[in-house]
Chains A and B, each alone.
Chain A
């Protein structure tokens, strides 16, 4: 039973007078009436937030335009340092940018630091390759015409030096064409220049960069001493040359970042001492004081260790901006925030020993952080923008969980993070909650309240299941495995100081699951979108036996997985390490500094995180195969030839047959007929992924079943499916979520179907569920009912679940009058988005999800 004391404590902290009503209902009404934000500052910042999300691959706000400042300064330094070692060139490029870039501070900001020339500007990455650059330059909705010629000259300069040109040379044209075909899955990293990293924030917060520079200097000195020692030992000394270069590059980069942070210090002081601040929400005196404090903080961090919460928040933000926005474009906001920031929060809020502050001030700072993330302009390739509709990027932070001794890691900061999310009502960053029944009731209650407000987050991952999976499949030590944080939507990765994930080549990317059966039925030829041979040749499906069909699916899976997981990732990994290092990212990590190796170095990496995905997921393959088995091989009502004819016609003229295939057993109804076939598909996938022995990791890749938003964006790419879906309609929208509306036996049946999958082998398996507003937001018993559901979910060892709590009526109204429903947030897949920014297809898919009745 829910504790009344916990509810009262939360209501008090949120300053909610419930008057006997359900907390969720009162919060919702308060938000509609007063708008988001717990203080005048965050109310102001929310109102003027520079949302930077995209929809359909386009930037929703017309003010967002290209700037060439970064590209110009990087190109200039690349030319000036021609002939230098590649890792030194990368450091010099960053240094030139840091030294000469613009900086700005917006009104009322408490956390400063940006990656662009002006607010709302998109900075480009010419070193990635021509495809992405030209896509931006030729789009006159984002690139001012006066920048076009200069941009094209940059593309010309980088032609032979870009990541694309470094990678394409290793692949024959036929394979390359298949890899570029979006029907098969995510195109190679070098086309969209989108990668994923987890900077080792902890080391910077604890040490400060000056100490890490000193460490590199000492390493260089020791290496030079070793080199001059008699007698010569070539095996030991030879590698030192490259290490010295790498440490040099780290030092150049870290010094540049310290200098760049101090430009913010200088600017804050200039503003405080020279400009009219009388229109600040707290008055001129207050704002002047804040700016001088910002000046003090930016002079000290990230050069020095963080003392308190304000230092830590600022230092973390600077590292994020540099590592994930300037040095390289990296998606995500991966960190275990409550664990990472707890010592600083405790010092400032609980113990008041450094930068003392009230709890409300800390919550306000967390709200500011959320808004800052929402303003991040991103320049990933069009493919990635299209599959990330309604958001800027996959900004997902993690909280909660248990330590290696199974003690609750939730703290007052965990709760403050959730309260900030409740207050400010932004869809980014999403929050991943590491669920265990051992987590404190207050935290679980706050998780529930966020869900009941319709945020769609926290998404919930089973802590214990992911802890043991990380130990078994990645061989992380228990104390490391316990502190996992989501790298992107669904994938646990290493946090802390040592050997974190640095690139998408290690973990990320994926292939299209739903396309596998259509390809198996068409000898690998895609006649729906590209009109090309994009899969393997598997023969004439009209003559298939059931066994032939399974074999064809297996071959298509291996073919696409090999191209997209192994060839793409390993070539990119090689090229990035050789030509496109990120020395600042490297200096954040103890292992890289200790060994003198770059961020993308893979040999002897202590903790690896080799994974890749299906997105959209392969649960559709189970439904497809079950429908074929049921009607063709068991009932024998139709032949394979008839099925192929109906599919080729996109079921047109075959509606009766389509209805019968739709009525075949479907995953999510606790029906062994289809669940066993789906289990075969998932086990096959685990085997295929596991067969990919990447550099330095012989246990093979682990796989994640998810959808991002590709269930909508990829709908035109996936042909008609045997389970009854027509070409162009949304595909399955999760990793193991039943198809919309085809789960008819209630939430427990869904969980039972999911529990039959080999979850212990799978790194992530996304389950979307939709729950009624009446229960979750407007009923006093909601928390108890939800807790009982979560207990079943946890007992069945399911991996993941996330909830939409939203009325169909509200979504329909938002489609009609979007301007009145700007606050409406929905869960898409691994992230939450503003509903009005979704495509109509995406909106309709959310509306069509089955609303489960609990209790």
Chain B
């Protein structure tokens, strides 16, 4: 079962950050729509099940 931490979009939250929690990370993806592109980050956990994630991109 793939996990978030194995994905290229996963960036662990550094320990010195205010929102640090053990295993926490940012899922950062580049997204596009008819107005252009943007980089989006949302909170995730490294052991989160990524099986159903359509954006999973193994490192």
Which residues of A line the B interface, CB within 8 A? 48-50, 63, 98-100, 102-107, 118-120, 255-256, 258-259, 262-263, 266-267, 270-271, 274-275
Contact = CB atoms under 8 A, between A and B. Distances in A.
Contacts of A107: 36-38
A614 to B, nearest CB: 39
B34 to A, nearest CB: 7
Q: Top 10 A-B pairs ranked by shortest CB distance? A: A259-B18, A106-B38, A104-B40, A48-B36, A102-B42, A99-B19, A271-B39, A267-B41, A48-B35, A104-B38
B35 A104 contact: no
B30 A63 contact: no
A679 B18 CA distance: 60
Nearest to A271: B39
B40 A270 contact: no
B56 interface: no
B30 A275 contact: yes
Contacts of A105: 38-39
Chain B interface residue number, banded: 20 to 34
Contacts of B31: 104, 118
A106 B36 contact: yes
B28 to A, nearest CB: 5
B43 interface: yes
A266 B40 contact: no
Interface of B: 11, 13-14, 17-19, 26, 28, 30-31, 33-43
Contacts, number: 71
Contacts of B38: 104-107, 119
Nearest to B32: A107
Contacts of B13: 266
A510 to B, nearest CB: 36
Contact of A63 (B28, B34, B37, B40): B34
A48 B34 CA distance: 8
B36 A267 contact: no
A102 B44 CA distance: 10
Contact of B35 (A63, A255, A256, A275): A63
30 contacts: A48-B35, A50-B35, A63-B34, A63-B35, A99-B18, A99-B19, A99-B43, A102-B40, A102-B41, A102-B42, A102-B43, A103-B40, A104-B41, A105-B38, A106-B37, A107-B37, A119-B33, A119-B35, A119-B38, A120-B33, A255-B18, A256-B18, A259-B17, A263-B19, A263-B26, A266-B11, A266-B26, A270-B28, A270-B39, A270-B41
A262 B26 contact: no
Contacts of A63: 33-35
A258 B18 contact: yes
Contacts of A49: 35
Contacts of B26: 263, 266-267, 270
A270 B11 contact: yes
Contacts of B40: 102-104, 118
Contacts of B19: 98-100, 259, 263
Contacts of B18: 99, 255-256, 258-259, 262
Contacts of B14: 266
Contacts of A255: 18
B8 to A, nearest CB: 8
Given A102-B42, A104-B31, A104-B39, 8 more contacts: A63-B35, A98-B19, A119-B35, A263-B26, A266-B14, A267-B26, A270-B11, A274-B11
A104 B38 CA distance: 7
Contacts of B39: 104-105, 267, 270-271, 275
Contacts of A262: 17-18
B36 A263 contact: no
B41 A263 contact: yes
Nearest to A256: B18
A110 to B, nearest CB: 14
A633 B35 CA distance: 62
Contacts of A106: 36-38
Nearest to B21: A99
A106 B35 CA distance: 10
Contacts of B17: 259, 262, 266
A605 B12 CA distance: 46
A823 B52 CA distance: 44
